[in-house]
Amino acid sequence: MIKRLVSGLLLAALALPACAAFDVGQLMDDLARHKGGKAKFVEKKYISLLDKPVISTGELTYTAPAFLEKRTLTPKVETLRLEKDLLSIEREKQKISINLASQPEALAFIDSIRGTLTGNRAALEKNYLLSLAGNPDKWVLTLLPSDQKISALVLRITVSGSKNQIRSIEYLQADGDRAVMSIEPLEAR
């Protein structure tokens, strides 16, 4: 009886500060409320092999909770579409479909963005350690892979945004190369 009481108090004590400050749970709730929309993106990939970054631009479309489309317009038209666990890539009349359920590493990678978009904390924490900085108007969420297979590919993912809108995603790859995507919402819903 006493033991239960003590552990109850302990839990309550742990929960107290979380209510006060801006935390991952609150961010996730905000993000989960975002039902989707369209955005422009500019992605720069800094690759050590190349003298200049590779720049691609295009549009993102997101409809909560399971549809995400990344339509690259430059340098080559290419469409990447994610519906539930089916990832399809269309480029130059070619279409590749990948069932992510069969590709755990790719799924973890995709979940970093999908989990953030949908505010699915459980999906994110399955593969990453989360840390949040800033306030609701200007926040930075850092994802550190907890699985060795994933950290062999990517060292850190940094997502930053404002309110329930993601403004940039940065991937730092294990080989030191880096990709930064800035996102500019086209219309707010």
Residue 56 binds to another protein (criterion: CB under 8 A):
yes
Per CB under 8 A, which region of 2-10, 17-25, 51-59, 116-124 contacts another protein?
51-59
Interatomic CA distance for residues 150 and 105, integer angstroms: 6
Residue 47 binds to another protein (criterion: CB under 8 A):
yes
CB neighbours of 135 closer than 8 A, spacing ≥ 6?
22
Q: Cα–Cα distances in Å, from 189 out to 63, 164, 169? A: 11, 11, 21
Residue 60 binds to another protein (criterion: CB under 8 A):
no
What is the smallest separation between the CB atom of 146 and another protein, expressed in angstroms? 17
- Six-digit token string for 61: 């479309």
Residue 49 φ/ψ region, left for φ over 0, alpha for ψ in the -120 to 50 degree band, beta for the rest? alpha
Figure out which of the listed residues 30, 59, 78, 170 binds another protein, where binding follows CB under 8 A: 78
Residue 148 binds to another protein (criterion: CB under 8 A):
no
Figure out which of the listed residues 39, 80, 141, 150 binds another protein, where binding follows CB under 8 A: 80
For residue 124, the one-letter residue type is L
Return the number of other C-beta atoms located less than 10 Å from residue 81's C-beta.
17
- Six-digit token string for 81: 């579409």
Residue 77 binds to another protein (criterion: CB under 8 A):
no
Residue 152 binds to another protein (criterion: CB under 8 A):
no
Residue 186 binds to another protein (criterion: CB under 8 A):
no
Figure out which of the listed residues 28, 68, 70, 160 binds another protein, where binding follows CB under 8 A: 70
Identify the H or E element spanning 170: strand 165-173
Tell me which residues touch another protein (CB under 8 A): 43, 45, 47, 49-52, 54-56, 70, 72, 75-76, 78, 80, 89, 91, 93-94, 96-99, 101-104, 153, 173, 177
